[in-house]
Homo-oligomer: A and B are copies of this chain.
Amino acid sequence: MAHNWNLDQVVSQLRMVRTAWRDSQRGNSERGDRELPSPEALRDIITHLRGALFPMRLGPADLRRETEDYYVGHTLDAVLNALWRQVRLELRYTARQQNDATEHEIDARAVDLVRQFAAALPDVRSMLDTDVLAAYAGDPAARSVDEVLLCYPGMLAIVHHRLAHVLYQLGVPMLARLVAEQAHSATGIDIHPGATIGRGFFIDHGTGVVIGETAIIGERVRLYQAVTLGAKSFPADAEGNLHKGQPRHPIVEDDVVIYAGATILGRITIGAGSTIGGNVWLTRSVPSGSHVTQAQSLQERLPPASGE
């Protein structure tokens, strides 16, 4: 019932391909032990953090208010220990790339970083409460604040983002990315962990939303599915070379609503209180209180403008 797959040959050819890769990378990759963070570990960490942040709604079924601090304390303890191991892996990986820092320094830095992450959690919960209220207010179909937290993919995305953003700011961008990609996979909402997002944020439906690394979003902003807040990489930049770190994504001020399919590109500003219609393509700033519809935006683009 078992067969011969010419394994020896396949194994040896795979070894040759690996060797060629390693030689070509001159040690940029796969040096010594495998020391990359673990997506599975991150997934568990986030699941338990969600429970610790919202114990009576996302925690264990039997919990009561009288004893929730025991649950929160113990869960955080386990989660932060696990996170510390992942942080250490990323810091060591980065140091290996750059040949700096001793192992001892890294471990100490990891402890410090996790402590700061822990200290940020109350603020994260406080922000997320405003997001829950925004979703409840923004969707006439929502029946309760609890349903929003339990069911809405937009809530899942923002919970992951607010945690990923803390990790990003503390200097572990790979962990931040892994957290963000897990929300991306579950919801189709792709928020770069570097994006800055104010209180009361709400994304409805959400599939296809993309928010770039240097985007800045104010308070009480609402987005629908397939909205892009991207970089104007074309045709402005003919070589296709973006310089990392430079501000290149939109600034969206307070109380803006952006409907489904709108594409907003470049370091432009959408003034406070504006509404951007569905499928609008926008590459210029608009003042506060603007109402931009697809027709207008088409007109903007069609006139003399040969090449946009």
In the complex, whether A181 has a CB less than 8 A from a CB of chain B is yes
Query: Given A7-B66, A240-B257, A298-B301: A13 and B122 within 8 A (CB)?
Result: yes
Residues of B within 8 A of A122 (CB): 10, 13-14, 16-17
B184, A185: Cβ atoms closer than 8 Å = no
In the complex, whether A106 has a CB less than 8 A from a CB of chain B is no
In the complex, whether A169 has a CB less than 8 A from a CB of chain B is no
Q: Which residue of B lies closest to A70 (CB)?
A: B73
Mark interface residues in A276-294 (1 if CB within 8 Å of B CB, else 0): 0111010000000001011
Residues of B within 8 A of A207 (CB): 184, 188, 190, 207-208, 210
Mark interface residues in A239-254 (1 if CB within 8 Å of B CB, else 0): 0111110000000000
Query: Given A37-B150, A146-B30, A308-B295: A11 and B60 within 8 A (CB)?
Result: no
A7, B141: Cβ atoms closer than 8 Å = no
Query: Given A62-B2, A72-B14, A73-B74: A278 and B265 within 8 A (CB)?
Result: yes
B39, A63: Cβ atoms closer than 8 Å = no
In the complex, whether A259 has a CB less than 8 A from a CB of chain B is yes
Mark interface residues in A204-227 (1 if CB within 8 Å of B CB, else 0): 010110100100000000000110
Residues of B within 8 A of A199 (CB): none
Residues of B within 8 A of A5 (CB): 76-77, 80, 114-115, 118
Interface residues on A, range: 35 or more
| Number of this chain's copies in the complex | 6
Q: Which of B39, B67, B185, B242 contacts A150 (CB 8 A)?
A: B39
Residues of B within 8 A of A210 (CB): 205, 207, 225, 260
Query: Given A97-B144, A205-B210, A260-B228: A153 and B185 within 8 A (CB)?
Result: yes
**Interchain residue pairs with CB less than 8 A apart (10):** A1-B33, A4-B115, A11-B70, A13-B121, A15-B69, A69-B73, A140-B242, A233-B259, A298-B298, A299-B302
**B-binding residues in A (CB < 8 A):** 1-11, 13-18, 20-21, 24-25, 28-30, 32-34, 36-39, 52-53, 55-57, 59-78, 80-82, 84, 93, 97, 111, 114-115, 118-119, 121-122, 125-126, 129, 140-141, 143-147, 150-153, 173-174, 177-178, 181, 184-188, 190, 192, 205, 207-208, 210, 213, 225-226, 228, 230, 233-235, 240-244, 257, 259-261, 263, 265, 275, 277-279, 281, 291, 293-296, 298-299, 301-302, 305-308
